[in-house]
Amino acid sequence: MKIDCTNIQSPGLLVFPDIVKENIAYVLNLVNGDPNRLRPHIKTHKTKEVNDLLLAVGIKKFKCATIAEAELLALSIAPSILLSMQPTGPNIERLATLVRTYPKSEFACLIDDFHAAQVISQVFLKLGLTIQVFIDINVGMNRTGIVPAKTEALIHQIIKLPAIALRGLHAYDGHIRDLDLDERKAHVQRDFIEFKALVQSISSEYPDLELCVGGTPSFLVHHQNPAYVSSPGTFVFFDAGYSTLYPEDSLKPALYIISRIVSKPSKTTICLDLGHKSVAAENNIDNRVRFIDHPEFKLLSQSEEHGIVEVPNSELYEIGQEFYMIPYHVCPTVALHANLQVIENEIFTGIWEVKARNRKINI
């Protein structure tokens, strides 16, 4: 790789806008060019620039995980914003403030509990506002959501509440990551049997509900169902963790980590300025990064600002030499950095601020 690194900070993240655009085009093509069948999650990139790239191809519906991410979307005047969380505590009023402050955007949130829905209803009613809701369905991940068998009863309770409008059903299946695509398809079919039965059962009474489903791994299955609005997120930047789940000629890594040698402690090790403050550390040490030009390199250990790497011969490398990596998990890696350094035609051209890495922007 030949990049002019004169003004590039390390440790840092490099983003390649042309590849981001290619990844967006790939996903859009799989839904036959219909942006209404996509509700991408912005938790991966947390930047206004990627939001704007998605809006530019006609995507109008988005998903986010925090109030800050929702506000970032509103700053780009995204038409439809789904907070993929059941808000509690002060976040209920913060969401209401978003609704009041950004009238050009339509907001919604998840619900899986009647008591929680009552509290949300009371807050919005008091402020003279209405919030749209998606019922969060548990299809096997067992993280959030109500099981399909209990969903109809919850719907009948919720629609009676003031200041709440039922908009759709939400089913996230992040547990489905089978390496073999045929096995992944079979896994989706098994775990969505009850979801499909629920949809069929309520279709006559609620014919216009949006069915927002899946993430990046299961997108290769869900995109084939025209009734679904798919919700991938990682696809914009992609990462090493999901690279084995997609064909080689499909999505490409659009974000690299850059790091430099700061010391050579032994003949077979180098020390990079790559601590666990710079890359997501929830995975085993040997899975956190993939060295792009040096597959033989092995990350041995990390402290806060340093990373020890096993190499065949450290004498081959110089202090200050740059190396590039793809993170195993890009989403939390991005959240560790204040900005992304933009590379176009192998030249640094500016930065994209990771504005929604913070829990608050204005509201």
What's 46's DSSP letter? -
**Site of tokens 């060019």:** 33
What's 41's DSSP letter? B
How far apart (Å, rounded) are the C-alpha atoms in residues 236 and 328? Answer: 15
Looking at this protein, which amino acid is placed at residue 64? C
Q: Which two tokens stand for residue 33?
A: 């060019």
Which stretch of DSSP H or E encloses residue 363? Answer: none
Chain segment 188-210, per-residue pLDDT in tens = 999 999 999 999 999 999 999 99
Segments of the chain with pLDDT less than 70: 1
Residue 362, pLDDT score: 97
- Sign of the Cα pseudo-torsion (175, 181, 184, 188, in order): positive
Alpha helices in 57-163 (DSSP H): 67-75, 90-101, 114-126, 151-158
Contacting residues for 297 by C-beta, under 8 A, at least 6 apart: 291, 309, 310, 311, 323
Chain segment 314-346, per-residue pLDDT in tens = 999 999 999 999 999 999 999 999 999 999 999
How far apart (Å, rounded) are the C-alpha atoms in residues 242 and 264? Answer: 32
**Site of tokens 């009474």:** 205
How far apart (Å, rounded) are the C-alpha atoms in residues 165 and 81? Answer: 15
Q: Which two tokens stand for residue 285?
A: 């040490």
**Which domains does the chain show, CATH number per domain?**
17-236 (3.20.20.10), 254-356 (2.40.37.20)
Cβ–Cβ < 8 Å for 98, 73: no
How far apart (Å, rounded) are the C-alpha atoms in residues 119 and 282? Answer: 34
Residue 209, pLDDT score: 98
